[in-house]
């Protein structure tokens, strides 16, 4: 029996539609890419050795406890890291306890960050650096699986990375002078204040260079009138902004200070995670976001978005870290006003090659994921 023209046309249409679906598989209803997830997470303690003794308003040290994390699946390794300066409360023991409870095999698709990372976050309160290590490793793995660096996945222009500041800790005039000379390639210096040597620190640096300085008081000034007098003095010294001038609990004093301050005030210790950005509005002019405080790249991206919506300045900072966590933060840096991403430059035993600082500017490379390779 011969087919009627209409039946022939119908069959042709059906087979063409089938071919179209075959050519465009993404037109199909979504089905998970990974039905069984055998993603393996491993971790090992590591100690960062600092080039110089590092002193801030509240402490002094020569090493930083760290934890290196890897996720592995399909022959791809994603790298992550938790840097844990002791005064922040995490340690290699707390990170070990936390990471031992992370099981990524329960999630069918590692691309589903929202679900996976919310679940990791819910394992226990706190532990922001340990959580960041998992977040960074997952981002690295997903970026490598996609074959793209995160700045590209986020749609950012790598040429828009900011200059990064170089941090000078509290020290004797001789050491401060020497560090200022060593920081020659940096366009901005970040100076730690908050002890009784504050004016000495600034005048010593000003004997060497007139480049812009940002200052970080690390909550060191306890009295608002004293803080205002200091900021008025600093405003005559080519200072960009003042980070965390007073203890984070003194919210009303900081808001009082901000109304009178000739320099922008940036919250750091006051701003840990996403809800803190909303609380910082009206108290600070901007926020300092760090992966180790906020649980990683995903939350940092949300914090930047919220801060921008609130018309606030954004700085991205770091702890002493290897190029792993620094490169992860650098992926976000085209979105911010100021970067303080010198953490890997301050250590002697970096394990990675990643984002670098070229002529004082954060520089991203066309490497997938967070953009690192192991040395």
The site for Mg ion (CB under 5 A) is made up of 216, 243, 268
Cβ atoms of 365 and 355 closer than 8 Å: yes
Q: How far is the CB of 206 from Mg ion (least distance, A)?
A: 21
Helix axes of 92-99 and 128-146: crossing angle, nearest 10 degrees? 60
Residue 143 or 317 having the CB closest to Mg ion: 317
Least Å distance, CB 189 to Mg ion, is 14
Nearer to Mg ion, 102 or 287 (CB): 287
What is the rounded CA–CA span in Å between residue 19 and residue 220?
A: 68
Closer residue to Mg ion, CB minimum distance, 78 or 245:
245
Q: Which is nearer to Mg ion, 109 or 337 (CB)?
A: 337
**Which CB atom, from 268 or from 285, has the smaller least distance to Mg ion?**
268
Taking CA atoms, 321 is separated from 41, 61, 185, 362, in Å, by: 20, 14, 20, 15
Q: How far is the CB of 217 from Mg ion (least distance, A)?
A: 8
Q: State the minimum distance, in angstroms, from the CB of residue 350 to Mg ion.
A: 22
User: Residue 112 is encoded by which pair of tokens?
Assistant: 């589903």
Q: How far apart are CA 197 and CA 211, in angstroms?
A: 20
Decide whether 69 or 344 has the Cβ nearer to Mg ion: 344
The CB-of-140 to Mg ion minimum distance in angstroms stands at 26
Tell the smallest beta-carbon distance from residue 290 to Mg ion (Å). Answer: 8
Separation CA 80–CA 53 (nearest Å): 25
**Least distance CB 195 / Mg ion (angstroms):** 15
The four Cα atoms 207, 209, 214, 217 give a dihedral, to 10 degrees, of -20
User: In the complex, what is the shortest distance from the CB of residue 317 to Mg ion, in angstroms, rounded to a whole number?
Assistant: 6
State phi, psi for 267 to the nearest 5 degrees. Answer: -85, 130
Between 110 and 267, name the residue whose CB sits nearer to Mg ion.
Answer: 267
SS3 80: strand
Q: Which residue is nearest to Mg ion (CB)?
A: 268
Cα 279 from Cα 361, distance rounded (Å): 31
DSSP 303-338: HHHHHHHTT-EEEEE--S--HHHHHHHHTTGGG-SE
Q: Which residue has the tokens 């009295």?
A: 223
Query: Kind and range of the H or E element at 257?
Result: helix 251-260
Helical (H) or strand (E) element with 82: strand 76-83
Whichever of 292 and 362 has its CB closer to Mg ion, that residue is 292
């Amino acid at each position: 029996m011969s087919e009627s023209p209409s039946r022939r046309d119908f069959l042709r249409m059906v087979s063409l539609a089938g071919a179209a679906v075959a050519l465009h598989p993404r037109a199909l209803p979504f089905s998970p890419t990974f039905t069984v997830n055998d993603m393996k997470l491993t971790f090992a303690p590591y100690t960062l050795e600092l080039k110089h003794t590092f002193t801030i308003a509240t402490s002094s040290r020569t090493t930083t406890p760290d934890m290196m994390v890897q996720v592995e699946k399909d022959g791809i390794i994603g790298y992550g890291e938790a840097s844990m300066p002791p005064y922040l409360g995490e340690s290699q023991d707390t990170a070990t306890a936390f990471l031992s409870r992370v099981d990524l095999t329960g999630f069918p698709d590692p691309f589903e960050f929202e679900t996976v990372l919310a679940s990791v976050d819910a394992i226990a309160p706190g532990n922001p650096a340990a959580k960041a290590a998992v977040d960074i490793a997952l981002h690295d793995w997903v970026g490598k699986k996609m074959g793209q660096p995160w700045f590209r996945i986020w749609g950012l222009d790598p040429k828009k990375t900011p200059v990064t500041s170089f941090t000078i800790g509290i020290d004797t005039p001789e050491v401060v002078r020497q560090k200022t000379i060593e920081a020659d390639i940096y366009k901005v210096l970040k100076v730690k204040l908050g002890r009784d040597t504050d004016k000495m620190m600034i005048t010593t640096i000003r004997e060497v260079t007139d480049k812009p300085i940002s200052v970080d008081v690390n909550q060191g000034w306890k009295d608002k009138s004293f803080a205002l007098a200091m900021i008025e003095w600093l405003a005559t010294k080519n200072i960009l902004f003042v980070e965390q001038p007073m203890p984070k609990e003194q919210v009303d004093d900081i808001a009082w200070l901000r109304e009178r301050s000739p320099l922008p005030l940036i919250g750091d210790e006051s701003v840990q995670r996403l809800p803190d950005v909303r609380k910082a509005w009206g108290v600070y002019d901007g926020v300092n976001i760090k992966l180790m405080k906020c649980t990683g790249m995903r939350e940092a991206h949300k914090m930047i978005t919220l801060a921008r919506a609130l018309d606030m300045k954004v700085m991205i900072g770091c702890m002493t870290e290897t190029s792993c966590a620094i490169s992860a933060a650098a992926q976000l840096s085209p979105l911010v006003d100021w970067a303080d991403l010198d953490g890997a430059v301050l250590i002697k035993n970096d394990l990675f090659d990643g984002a670098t600082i070229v002529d004082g500017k954060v520089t991203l490379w066309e490497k997938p994921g967070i953009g690192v390779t192991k040395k």
